[in-house]
Amino acid sequence: MHEYIISSGHCRALGATIEEDGVNFAIYCPAAEAMELLLFKSVDDTSPDVITISSQVYRSIYYWHVFVKGLKAGQIYAWRVKDSIRSINKSKDFVELDKVLLDPYGRRILFPKEYRRFQGSDMTENYRTCAKSCVIDIDDYDWGTDTAPRHLLSKTVIYEMHVKGFTAHESSGVAKNLRGTYKGLIDKIPYLVKLGVTAVEFLPIFQFDKFDALPGKLNYWGYSPMGFFCPHEDYASDTSIMGPINEFRDLVKALHKNGIEVILDVVFNHTSEGDHNGPTYCFKGLDKYSYYIIDENGNYGNYAGCGNTLNANRSVVRNLILDSLIFWKEKMHVDGFRFDLASILARDSNGAPIPNAPTLLDIDGNVRLADTKIIAEPWDAGGLYQLGNIAGRKWREWNGQFRDCVRSFMRGDGGTIKPFVNKILGSPDIYNEKEVDPQKSINFITCHDGFTLWDLVSYERKHNMDNGEFERDGCNNNYSANYGVEGESDDEKLNSLRLRQCKNFMALTVLSMGTPMITMGDEILRTQKGNNNAYCQDNELSYMNWNLNDRQKEMLEFTRKLIRHRTYRSSREAHANSRSLKMLDNALRSTKLQWHGVLPFQPDWSDMSHSVGVMVYWGTYSIYSYVFVNAYWEDLEIEIPPCPKNSHRYWFLFVDTSKNINHDISATFSAMPRIYPGDIIKVQSRSIIMLISSDS
């Protein structure tokens, strides 16, 4: 064994911190009587050097710490609890002895060639098969002139995407060795720029356990975190010690250079250690009752639906969450976070909801996170539903009611007209009393969890048998429709209807009040063949296929034009038309609304209504827009309402989702057909038109 010079160190910073002449290690483990720091020569080393610390000089109440002289970046290490203090209740052990444990604050997790999730009684075997942490010099990177885009939410369009799935398919055109990686994604940034999105929201990129899935499957989505401070290794083409960290930062820097923000989907509600049947690799071994919600009988709370639930309002976990967010903001230059099952952050140690939950308020008010976007998924798997009630004013929220109400109305359900209208106006029924802007609502029709857009109009039921759970997984109520045929069809008339509905959904998402989010591949009608829970499908079913047919190309072009008119990129054409195209991004209070039916000023608010027209006056821009939504299964003839006083005496037809690629959406006034007040026009079944006019 190598002879090490050690001293007491400190706990001012948890984790492994490089200091002059060595490394300081600090970890939370209040129930330990003695700790062991394991130092490995390689990730496959089976005989690590062991530094045992037990005296009070290495302890500050809850924390153990030691400074080891001569260690440098690249040192591989782990912790082990050598002995513990048992509680008064002799059956209640807080720690697990003789487990090789990751550092909760580790910046890098390394996996040996023979990695296994579970540890046994043979310590040599555990050394060889366990994941390990690594000392990282996190400041060893040149950010150059990197600057965050910091788009206003009113100018934001979010693109939810999977790092691997975006380029993993051979049709991506990315070099084979770069497919599915951070670096490979850099090659496709021009596509994102042309699409017009202003932010990407990555599905989890914290290091996760890909083997946390049923036998024969892999965890693809990544909602199975192992560490909260390290990027996922498998997404890096460079798997050296610093490879994943710096390759991710290269990606962030490249996206920023192109005006695109980076939002991370973060999972602070559970870990891949699972319940009592799951592995122990970190938190269970250090203090299971602090890190997890566990009842008096020793059962793990399962409010995440994944076996365990982080004890988010215990101080050690609350600090870990904040430290992680600040790390990704300051060291990795991330612009925002979407919190998976955020309502779990409002539960106490017994699982009961807490009003004004400290963790949510800490995130909301932290000065070091002041310029980040924070988005909540305001519910959890335990039934806590907090849409409109997440603690703190800064939070934005995934609006699941927008998704469900718009889906229901557009497939022709009765009794949905009033909820539909509320949702496209920024959900004032949910948010108006909160005195917040419409961007509080993150509007989406689809997300990673559920049907893709094309599957939403092609399947009436889920088809999840390939997941191996006998159709027990995935949502059963999707508000979907197949319009006569389950799945793919060669019927051109049917496919035309499905395409029209996809355009309708995209238009309503992008043009409604609120912050729009679209899902990777919906712009090209990506299908998962009816699988609405593809979390374990790490294959072509989930990947973006870049080979497009004519129908997919039409949808892509429609989406590009739509987003371009929402975000007003700095092109000359967009600038020249900015007054006429600055739509639906202003606060509801600054607009004037006028409702119409098939006849002007005669809206049908009955439960049997399947259509509505609305005229909106955007006073800030002196713009009028008239939108008519026909969710009815037959064509409707409507009378065009008069143009407002002092405006043009005619309307311009801006959008018609029933038209083909050359006529469904117009780029300039000169390309827009004129329509006059009093004209009787036919609005095709299940389609949307938008007319615009102005005071000038």
The CA distance from 199 to 185, in Å, is 14
Distance CA 422, CA 417 (A): 9
Closest CA to 597 of 336, 468, 421, 387: 421
Calpha distance 11→243 (Å, rounded): 28
Give the residue among 623, 633, 614, 620 at the shortest CA–CA distance from 689: 614
Catalytic residues: 340, 377
Q: Which residue has the tokens 């998962």?
A: 528
Q: Quick one: which of 409, 446, 407 has its CA closest to 526?
A: 446
Q: How far is CA 137 from CA 11, 26, 234, 250, 331, in A?
A: 18, 16, 21, 16, 11
Query: H or E element: which one contains 286?
Result: helix 283-291
Residue 373 structure tokens = 């976007």
Q: Left (φ > 0), alpha (ψ -120 to 50) or beta: where does 21 sit?
A: left
Strand partners, 396: 375
- The DSSP-derived string for 256-268 is HHTT-EEEEEE--
Contact predicate 158/396, CB 8 Å: no
Q: Which two tokens stand for residue 518?
A: 């679209």
In order of 153, 287, 320, 357, 688, the CA distances from 314 in angstroms are 32, 12, 10, 11, 50
| 199 CB-near residues (< 8 Å, 6+ apart) | 151, 156, 157, 158, 159, 260, 261, 262, 263, 335, 336, 373
Q: In one letter, which amino acid is 563?
A: I
The span from the CA of 127 to the CA of 106, in Å, is 18
**Looking up tokens 């038209």, which residue turns up?**
659
Q: Is 419 helix (H, G, I), strand (E, B) or coil?
A: helix
